[in-house]
Structure 1
Amino acid sequence: MADGVVSVFVEKLVNALADQGRVIFEFQEQFERMKTQLQFMQSFLKDADRRKRKNETLCKVMDGLRELIYDAEDILAECEIRVQLRETEISKGGWSMPFSPSELPFRSRTGNRLEEINKRIGQIKEDMRSFLMPAINGGQISAPEEEQRWSSPVWDENQIVGLEEDAMKIKGWLFQANDYGLTTIGIVGMGGLGKTTAAQKVYNDRQVEDHFDRRMWVSVSQTFTEEEIMRSMLRNLGDVSMGDSPGELLRKIHQYLLGKSYLIVMDDVWSLENGWWTRLCNGLPKKNGSSIIITTRNEDIARKMGVVEARFHRPKFLTQEQSWSLFCKIAFPANRGECNYTGLEDVGREMVGKCGGLPLAIKAIGGIMRCKRPSLVEWKRIADNFSDELAAENNDSVVGASLQLSYDELPAHLKSCFLCFAVYPEDCTISKDQLIRWWFAEGFVPERNGRLAIESGEDCFTGLVNRCLVEAVDKSYSGKINTCKIHDLVRDLVIRIAKKEAFCTPEGVPSRRLSLKSSNCVKSRSISKLRALLSTTKTGETNILSSSIAKKFCECQYLRVLDVSRSVFETHLNEVFCLVGSLKHLRYLSLRHTHPIVHFPHSMEKLKNLRILDVSYCHNLRTLPPYITALEKLTILDVSNCGSLKYIPKGLGKLSNLQVLIGFRPSKSSCLDGCRFAELKSMTQLKILGLRITQGEEIGDNEMGTLSHLRQLQFLTIDCIDSYSNDLGMKLDRLSVPQQLHELSLKFFPGELSPTWLNPTSLPHLQYLSISSGNLAHMNSLFWGNERTVWKIESLMLESLSSLEEDWTRVSLAMPSVKLLSISWCPKLRSFPVEDFGFRGGMWRKLGPGFPVEALTD
């Protein structure tokens, strides 16, 4: 962690010093001295981060450096705030001297703090030199070699090895289940052996899906409660109601399943304490060939849950060839899982052999090598480090050694991103958007010239997925990950490191990052250093925040991230919001699904450093304050699904740094205080835009070319839900849409004929197309292209288009590059190969060599 913090801080410090107007001049000498020392020390850090685990003194030295870096970053942030205040005062005609007398105490205090920090950093530099003795070239430390990055698609988690026979055996047990009684199957084995993967393969099998009326996946984990298990089952059944007693929850489950065949997967069961399983099992219907699959590391638990010997499945270790096949699929995706590099196979097989056939260990090693140069020297270095980790006293398993090596080999910025997972509860499904926004707000995402912040955040997320440290849970029709999770053994690693690095710490210990799940101990802990407080609730759950807790976290002067989504406050929201306005360093504020927000108080105008504001699904929100147009640093604004929102305030076009704008509703010309469609022209950094348009008069005749000014725009959504204007379809047809679009989503399109600009000539780079709901009946003549011009679309979704009367054969000819396909509720779509796809669920179908196509039909 230390190297990540230092690298991020140095980069931000260099950027600040390059902008002479943003740092108080009198501190420039101290900042320059600090920058020089930290840049010098960067050469030590990668080696030190690994060696400190074996050297207690070096560990303490690095801990001291980490705390100094945090202190220095806070000082820099305070200096920037002071400059902002001074510039505001000058703009109002106030004090115009370089500083006001009131700043003297701050200047004296800050100067002394910087002097002390520089002195301590200098001493640490000398201590590290004596421990590590780096090579010195001409009196200077050579700059660390930048890791070469190899771009490749996100690894497909469906690429599994050695489970075909296992899946067939388990499916046989399920299909042979007696109509009377409950068939219980146990998948038992050590951690990392693939128990959950085997259960997932069966659970997602099309034949299994067709066989059962209901399916439920429940992650039991080590820290479950009986009520949480039942609520999870009900969420699987589409019921997210709150407030019922455990007895009522069980009665609901019984009613939902009565007369139905069902499959329940109880994943990762650790304990049967308090008799929870007996009560739950007794409350389940026992007919219609229903079954339960249990995954656990403890055979006794499975037996007590009713598994007989004939229904035990014990996953075997992968054979040598299966292990090598799995490794190659991960390490060489661009070569379709083939090792075509001279000399690398021997080294690779040596590492794979040490994994002992454990899939999780093999995936971890494969993920490391996927992101390295195909160099024999580099591979041998990794192999040697793997041997060292296996021999280390603190690694008691090959899985632990492989995961530790994965962490050690991460670039500095990815270490910071990875440690964020320590905040989330066990078996938590994690929003990718929340992660990326958090990383951006805390400065973990590296800033590079020409790269948008959200693009860099996506790269960081992909980097962790490619290294097999993060697993996909839910994907969009385009194959992009929406939610993710981490394996419990990966979580054990990340929690251990995060605790050691003081990134986030257990309850009762001062911490810089907390989950709202832990907020019940905020009152008893020192939170003066808190930087991030995030909601980690599941869908259907709510945070209940008392007045004292709400006030307490609003006192955290260095807070950068505040996500209180899905929260209910016991105190009046205005009282909380007034306090939030004092968080001068806040960069990310999420009020998603927080009720009942009606409006924002004036105090929040002080959040001048805010980069991200998410108020989506705040159904009672009526207005956004005019001062939002003065929050110049806003990069992401999400106001989607705010049904009561009257308008977006006029002047939003001033936010020229916006990269993401979701839920934008252009105002009619009669709304003098509202933002018109033409204001989008000045938002030249927009990459993602979500429009909600309900009337033709929301787009003026002179505003048709507005979107063509957005040269960075790649993702566009046009949502016409609740539209009632007869001319809206004609207005949308006249829009000028930018050619560089990668993804387009049309929802509730009001016209019967698709817009003229929806054709492969106007949108030559479009890769993902989604059309859902609305009146669409036919595609315009240009949609079909010609012999020389066809669509480059790779993913297509057509959903709930009851009037669409087109021939599927013609669609497939116009889109020869389609790899992912989702079709549902399109009854008039002619010539669709229903016999290949089936009516229920999903399956994979090949439309070309090596191209899997996910097809969903109804």
Structure 2
Amino acid sequence: MSTQVLFTPSFQSPDRSLALLSYLNSGQVTPFQFFNEVIMPTFVCHAKHFPTDIDYVNHKSSSTTNSEEDSSSCNLQTILQKIQSDLIYIKKAYGRLKQWEDHLNRAIKDLALQSLHGASNERTETLENSSRPNFLHKLNETLRITSRLKELLSHPPRLSSESLKSMARAEFNLHHSLELQDLNLQNMTEESSAFKETKNAYDGLSDEEKPCFLCFSVFPENAVIKKKVLVHWWVGEGFIDTLGAEGKTAEETANKFFEKFTEKGLIKPEYKKRRPSADSCTMDPATRYAVIMLAKWYSFFDFDVDGNPTEDFTRSKRSCLVKTEEGSSILKLPCHFKQEEVQCMINVNEPNLDFRPDWFSKMKKVKVLQLGRWQSSAKHLIQVEDSKFLKGLKNMRDLRYLSLRGVSGISELPAAVCKLSNLMILNLNGCLHLEKIPQGIGSLKNLTHLDMYECYLMSHMPKGLALLSKLQVLKGFVIGEPRAAEGGRQPCKLADLSSLQNLTKLSIHVDKNKKSDAVERELISLADFKKLGSLSISWSRLYEQPKSTSLPKLIKLVSRPKLIKLASLPKLKSIKSSPSSMPPVSRSKASGSPSGPDLLKKLNLHYFPDSKIPDWLMQWKLGKLEKLHIRGGKLSDLRRGENVEVLRLKFLEELQMDWPSLHKLFPKLNYLEIFDCPNLSSMPCDNEGVWYQTKD
């Protein structure tokens, strides 16, 4: 009997069996979970179709008796059942180990956070007395978890034969209903149920919503996608306007799209710690495969046979940078076709932006350049060895959205950026080595979003920011002083921005090197920002320029930006906010009637250096404030927020309060999140530090 008979049983559904056979013959490494949950149950299910005249164990001749044939068949079933039982045992043991591994990761993370937070406050002791018991408790808890994990590795969990049989039946019932056609793109057809459902939902979308929905096709399977990434992309391509006909912002318009996609079951919102709103979403794999088919169908993007987006823009005006086993996609960018045809370029997972300057500069019609990372985690590293190619930006007069988020190796944004007259969104978030942006940035008259958050080497802001009349979102504004080497240029002051009538979201980084009186004068000017809806202020010391940093060190630095930020925080000296310490102009404003951003709905204070809330903040009307987040620092009291619904408190060792007192300050509170605030007592939070009140 040939081997071919043994390994090609006649399955009930030939197309499905061929799909599985094709996968197995592809040479790909089969993940254990896929083998255990798909291949093995399918094989067991169809084992009855094997010829019964073969002795699978002893390979005897065809002259065996019927009783021997029965024995052989019985041996086959016994072997299969034992294999499946062993696989279930392995899966169960791995699950237990994975659970304890997750516990250990969280415990060590908590220890690291508390230790690094201690570095944010300059202390004479390693740990203050108030936090020592809490730290020792966490240390003992971590020891317990590591000991338990070690024990499980030495003595894996035992399962009874009855448990294994029960689990085997459950596994069989679960996987018997799986459709192999939905496992990958190659097996999905226009006749599959997943494609038909997705296509019907797609047909029900408006002309504005359809291209927005097709953008989901380029993201990897099970990716958690920040909604903001999609919104900026949609604005860049012109799918939605920053300010629509009804006066709605791009975010408000996009939220309606996300709601519709969710209602149709096309995406799922991702909630973090049960927070009331979700800023990210995911897509079911089967739906994603269908979207890829639609995107390829309508020439929205080009994809390879496995459903991966490609750099090829000969069939579409959009290109993707995708790192594969074959190498960098940038090196494979078509050279014999006109780059002028490219209108959109999305970096899916390319870690090295080694563009040829002559190639890059020819993309004269491009509207969207998402070159930075779209992932939330900073572990996705992107670097440039030479940023000279960015000078080619001067030719991209149609560019509306440029993202260099998380790209290391860029120390200065070239003046060529100032030529981008149509640029609306500029994202420099997490460019850790960026020291300055050009003085001529004020020429970007259409700029609505500028994100410089976590650009820790920037010492000040250029005056040109005050000329950005359409600016709606500004993140990472620095209250600091120019370095001596920069010729003593006058930096942009916070008060200079008060004339920006469209500014609704502002985040500020206060340099601890700057004198407290000068800082306070600037912060008092926030009272003139009447349309501000979201405000974030962070106090810490700006970094000094590294004297000598090689590229490997730069990469290492980027790999742990959060740790560097916390560990580098300086001693937080109190800012004296008494009237006597304020200049005459400040006293005049402080003694006036209550003022402030009247429309403020969200306020974040990070590492506030004083124990008491300052006068400039106490004077504000905060009647519309709905969300308050205070992280780190020395605050020992809170001011009343009669309409605050969401409160998040982290690393506040000096804040002492019980639940009745806290709830009295915030009577409309329906969501509370607490982390490492040892002097908050009798709080109704769960083991994750979360309390929320369900709405009727």
Normalized against structure 1, the TM-score is what?
A: 0.51
Aligned twin of 1:629: 442
Matches within 5 A, 1:192-211: none
Conservation of the 8 A alpha-carbon contact between 1:469 and 1:486: yes
Aligned partner of residue 352 in structure 2, secondary structure: strand
Aligned twin of 2:192: 396
Once the 2 structures are TM-superposed, how far is the Cα of residue 599 of structure 1 from its aligned partner? 1.1
Aligned twin of 1:535: 347
Aligned twin of 1:434: 229
Instruction: Identify the match of residue 564 of structure 1 among 354, 368, 371.
Output: 371
Aligned partner of residue 289 in structure 2, secondary structure: helix
Conservation of the 8 A alpha-carbon contact between 1:516 and 1:543: no
Once the 2 structures are TM-superposed, how far is the Cα of residue 396 of structure 1 from its aligned partner? 3.0
Query: Which string of whole-angstrom CA distances, capped at 9 and with x for unpartnered residues, describes residues 190-216 of structure 1?
Result: xxxxxxxxxxxxx9xxxx999735269
Aligned twin of 1:552: 359
Once the 2 structures are TM-superposed, how far is the Cα of residue 525 of structure 1 from its aligned partner? 7.2
Number of equivalences: 497
Aligned twin of 1:727: 575
Q: RCO (CA 8 Å, sep 6+): is it higher in 1 or 2?
A: 2
Aligned partner of residue 693 in structure 1, secondary structure: strand
Query: Which string of whole-angstrom CA distances, capped at 9 and with x for unpartnered residues, describes residues 342-385 of structure 1?
Result: xxxxxxxxxxxxxx999xx9xxxxxxxxxxxxxxxxxxxxxxxx
Aligned twin of 1:498: 295
Once the 2 structures are TM-superposed, how far is the Cα of residue 847 of structure 1 from its aligned partner? 3.6
Conservation of the 8 A alpha-carbon contact between 2:460 and 2:482: no
Q: 1:756 to 1:712 in 2, by over 3 A?
A: same
Conservation of the 8 A alpha-carbon contact between 2:494 and 2:523: no
Conservation of the 8 A alpha-carbon contact between 1:767 and 1:793: yes
Q: Is the counterpart of residue 766 in structure 1 residue 579 in structure 2?
A: no
Normalized against structure 2, the TM-score is what?
A: 0.62
Q: 1:842 to 1:468 in 2, by over 3 A?
A: farther
Once the 2 structures are TM-superposed, how far is the Cα of residue 427 of structure 1 from its aligned partner? 2.7
Aligned twin of 1:709: 528
Matched to 1:708, the amino acid is A
Structure 2 Cα separation of the partners of residues 258 and 490 of structure 1:
40
Instruction: Identify the match of residue 837 of structure 1 among 686, 689, 696.
Output: 686
Structure 2 Cα separation of the partners of residues 569 and 768 of structure 1:
36
Matches within 5 A, 1:838-857: 838=687, 841=688, 847=693, 850=696
Conservation of the 8 A alpha-carbon contact between 1:660 and 1:687: yes
Instruction: Identify the match of residue 522 of structure 1 among 324, 333, 340.
Output: 333
Aligned partner of residue 740 in structure 1, secondary structure: coil
Q: 1:258 to 1:571 in 2, by over 3 A?
A: same
Q: 1:594 to 1:773 in 2, by over 3 A?
A: same
Structure 1 Cα separation of the partners of residues 536 and 196 of structure 2:
45
Conservation of the 8 A alpha-carbon contact between 2:382 and 2:406: no
Once the 2 structures are TM-superposed, how far is the Cα of residue 760 of structure 1 from its aligned partner? 11
Structure 2 Cα separation of the partners of residues 289 and 755 of structure 1:
57
Once the 2 structures are TM-superposed, how far is the Cα of residue 315 of structure 1 from its aligned partner? 5.0
Q: 1:759 to 1:673 in 2, by over 3 A?
A: closer
Matched to 2:496, the amino acid is E
**Structure 2: which 5+ residue stretches go unaligned?**
1-85, 113-144, 183-188, 304-309, 324-328, 374-380, 542-569
Once the 2 structures are TM-superposed, how far is the Cα of residue 422 of structure 1 from its aligned partner? 1.4
Matches within 5 A, 1:143-182: none
Aligned twin of 2:129: none
Aligned partner of residue 748 in structure 1, secondary structure: strand
Which of 1 and 2 has greater Rg? 2
Matched to 1:727, the amino acid is I
Instruction: Identify the match of residue 261 of structure 2 among 454, 464, 472.
Output: 464
Aligned partner of residue 523 in structure 1, secondary structure: coil
Q: Is the counterpart of residue 666 in structure 1 residue 479 in structure 2?
A: yes
Structure 2 Cα separation of the partners of residues 454 and 728 of structure 1:
39
Conservation of the 8 A alpha-carbon contact between 2:322 and 2:347: yes
Q: Is the counterpart of residue 601 in structure 1 residue 414 in structure 2?
A: yes
Aligned twin of 1:682: 499
Matched to 1:530, the amino acid is V
Q: Is the counterpart of residue 807 in structure 1 residue 674 in structure 2?
A: no
Query: Which string of whole-angstrom CA distances, capped at 9 and with x for unpartnered residues, describes residues 565-596 of structure 1?
Result: 1565665212x111122211111111111121
Aligned partner of residue 661 in structure 2, secondary structure: helix
Q: 1:287 to 1:769 in 2, by over 3 A?
A: farther
How high is the sequence identity, in percent, across the aligned residues?
A: 25
Once the 2 structures are TM-superposed, how far is the Cα of residue 710 of structure 1 from its aligned partner? 2.8
Structure 2 Cα separation of the partners of residues 462 and 755 of structure 1:
40
Structure 2 Cα separation of the partners of residues 458 and 406 of structure 1:
18
Once the 2 structures are TM-superposed, how far is the Cα of residue 260 of structure 1 from its aligned partner? 5.2
Q: 1:528 to 1:672 in 2, by over 3 A?
A: closer
Q: 1:396 to 1:698 in 2, by over 3 A?
A: farther
Aligned twin of 1:793: 644
* Root mean square deviation, CA, Å: 4.4
Q: 1:287 to 1:523 in 2, by over 3 A?
A: farther
Once the 2 structures are TM-superposed, how far is the Cα of residue 435 of structure 1 from its aligned partner? 1.0
Structure 1 Cα separation of the partners of residues 172 and 520 of structure 2:
67
Once the 2 structures are TM-superposed, how far is the Cα of residue 451 of structure 1 from its aligned partner? 2.3
Conservation of the 8 A alpha-carbon contact between 2:412 and 2:436: yes
Conservation of the 8 A alpha-carbon contact between 2:595 and 2:621: no
